[in-house]
Amino acid sequence: MKKKLDFKNFSIYFDQYLFIAITLLSVMGLFFLYSASQEDINTVAKQAIFVGFGLLLMFVVSQPDPDFYNTFSGLFLIFSLVLIFLTMIFGKEINGAKRWLDLGFFTLQSSEIIKISLPIFLSSYLYNKPLPISTRHTFITLILIGFIFALVARQPDLGTSLVVFMSGGYVLFLAGLSWRFIGSAIALFLLSLPFLWNNFLEPFQQQRVLTYLNPDADPYGTAWNITQSKIAIGSGGINGKGYQEGSQAHLDFLPETETDFIFAVIAEEFGFIGVCILLSVFFFILLRCLYLAFNARDRFCRLTIGGLSLVFASTLFINLAMVVGVVPVVGMPLPFISKGGSSLLSFYIAFGIIISMATHKKLMQR
């Protein structure tokens, strides 16, 4: 239930369902991270600061009226793009990828910001266009999406660039993109796959895809991560091995336990029951977003809530699918759980905006 609390002259905008669910996830995340980081209290403390700050940020971001976001969405997008360009120039290179901008106190992954600002901008651009969306607007939108996609993909960061692409695509689709166009786009995409494979994928990304397609070819080489992840999940069984008892995680068989593969740690230590409990919190958040989208005050809010919640769903899906070995390893965090400030903060901001969109009502409607 969305609420508007009156404190004499100003109001507080707040959705307790989302707030409780997200807080719960964040706390569970800290709890899981402690085990996944081999009981490293420093890592957990740092993450806890992000969680606390993030929750505050979410609350702050949910206070302004949607009109504020509508008005400044262009500015947000430009700001995000500037960050991306700065990353391209000053970025910190790790393992051949330039994705991080060192801000001294915080290392920012700029692509995490744009997957929020792009759907907001597109919502604001498309909300007042007549239906069905004209070819001209479709193309302008697609060019923008393609441009940003290419920027992020060049870092290179295939996973995030796909989410960025999808974030734009979701809004376009929700705003009423014609089915005929969708059909031809899918056909075109399939036809250009070989071209994309050869020209857009780095060799290590190609290797990941090949490994995914044939994981048994080289179980101790490139498929190591997936093999160990499956062993971790599978050996967890129904009840799990117990907190901090996961041998795959604690004996270093599992890679990236704190970030991409934290779900495998959870599955190993808490079993299928733990997985179901965790996923039900995620599903609750998604269903709450669906409800809020249906009850949003106008088209801009609807598109924004829809777009952002689908970005959240996509991130969640890609991470889980990667960890259980259904899609290639792409580097995608588990929202609110994985270590990493940028992703964490961007989702707090996203949900802050969702709450803002859902709780502010137009005066004329009351």
Partner 1 sequence: MIDLNERFIEKRSFFNRLLFIYFFFAVLFLFLLFKTYSLQVSSYSDYELAALKNKTKEVLVQPVRGVIYDRNGNILVNNVPTYDLIIQPSKIKNLDDFIINISKIIELSDAEIENINKNFKRRATYNRELTIKKDLSKEEIAKFEVRSYQFKNAFIDVRYSRENKYPYLFSHALGYVGGVSNDKVLSILKNQDLKQSETTFKYSGGFIAGKTGLENIYDSALRGSFGKKLFEVDARGRLLKELSFEKPINGKSLFTHLDLNSQKKAFEQMNNRRGAVVALELKSGSIVTYLSTPSFNVNGLSNGMSSVEFEKLINDVDKPFFDRAGQGRYSPASTIKPAIALFGIKEKIVDWNFTLKDPGFFVLPEDQRIYRGWKKGGHGTIDMKGAIIESSNTFFFSLAYKADINNLISHLSEFGFGRNVCKDCFNPDSGLLPTPEWKMNNLNFGWFKGDTVNLGVGQGYMSATPVQLAYYSAFLAKKGNLQELSFVESDSISNTAFINNLSIDNSDWDQIHSSMIGVIEDPRGTAKRLKPLKSYVVAAKSGTVELVSTETKEDYKLVRQNIGNRDHAIIVAFGPMPDPEYAVSVVIENGESGGSVAGPVAIAVLNELINK
Chain residues in the site for partner 1 (CB under 8 A): 128, 130-131, 170, 173-176, 228, 230-238, 247-248, 251-253, 267, 271-272, 275-276, 279, 283, 286, 290, 293-294, 299, 302-303, 306, 310, 313, 317, 320-321, 324-326
Please, which residue, 60 or 279, has the CB nearer to partner 1?
Answer: 279
The least CB distance from residue 317 to partner 1, in Å, is 6
221 bridge partner residues: none
- The DSSP call for residue 216 is G
Q: In angstroms, give the least distance from the CB of 318 to partner 1.
A: 10
Give the integer Cα–Cα distance in Å for 349 and 274. 27
Tell me the closest approach of the beta carbon of residue 62 to partner 1, in angstroms. 21
Helix (H) or strand (E) holding 7: strand 2-7
Min dist. Cβ of residue 127 to partner 1 (A): 9
- The dihedral region occupied by 330, where left means phi > 0, alpha psi between -120 and 50, and beta the remainder, is alpha
Angle at 238 (CA atoms; ends 317, 226), nearest 5 degrees: 45
Compute the C-alpha angle 202/345/144, nearest 5°: 50
**Considering beta carbons, is residue 145 or 293 the nearer one to partner 1?**
293
Measuring CA to CA, how many Å separate 128 from each of 144, 231, 362? Answer: 18, 51, 16
Tell the smallest beta-carbon distance from residue 183 to partner 1 (Å).
15
> Do residues 107 and 46 lie in contact, with contact meaning Cβ atoms separated by under 8 Å?
no
Torsional sign, CA 267, 270, 276, 277: negative
Q: How far is the CB of 95 from partner 1 (least distance, A)?
A: 19
* CB-based contact 359:63 (threshold 8 Å): no
